[in-house]
Amino acid sequence: MLTLSTRNQITIAMLLVLLMILTRGHHFASAHHLADASWAIFFLVGIYLRPVWLLLAFFALSWYLDFAAYTWGGVSDFCLTPAYGFLLPAYASLWFAGRWFVTHYQFSRYAAIPFFVSGLTGLVLCELFSSGGFYFFSGRFVQPTITEFGERLMTYFPFYAETFAFYLGTAVALHVLLSYLASLLRPHSPGIR
């Protein structure tokens, strides 16, 4: 299991908060905005941050950023429907996937497949809860059908998966780089000769 000092967890939490603030509200990247990192952030919170209450804190932050964007930022309220509550199990599924991975595996070259499987599982569950909840329970679609939902899933899910993979790839690269640098700075104990 990955064990980080409290200082390292606070640093990671602050970086994830900053990333959410900078990216929340832009589902896809453009020339002027980074794509929304929320899905990757909840997965990474499950991996790196031990206190469970931080999951609730990130829920609250995401809600507040949406509320601020709608209230003061001039963002459309199209997504603020009764289905908004489906974001709770959507984000929780990513957090649980991250938590499952870190409690069963250490970061190493042998953990690539479990990391991929846990990330993909969390990603698919998140998509089904968030998009499925919105499609079927938002009231924005007159006669929702499984067929139309499947078509919409095939249209939008690849963009979300691409964004998720980009942020996770960046996080893995940073993890490997910082772990390597830490190993260089760590004093080596003399071995038995």
Per-residue pLDDT tens over the stretch 98-107: 999 998 887 7
Q: Is the pLDDT of residue 128 over 90?
A: yes
Task: State yes or no: pLDDT of 79 exceeds 80.
Answer: no
Q: Is 1 helix (H, G, I), strand (E, B) or coil?
A: coil
* Structure confidence at residue 25 (pLDDT): 65
**For position 80, what pLDDT does the model report?**
78
Give CA–CA dist 119/101, Å, rounded. 8
CA triple 134-14-12, angle to 5 deg: 95
Section 5-32 average pLDDT:
80
Residue 29 neighbours by CB distance under 10 Å: 15
- Entry pTM: 0.89
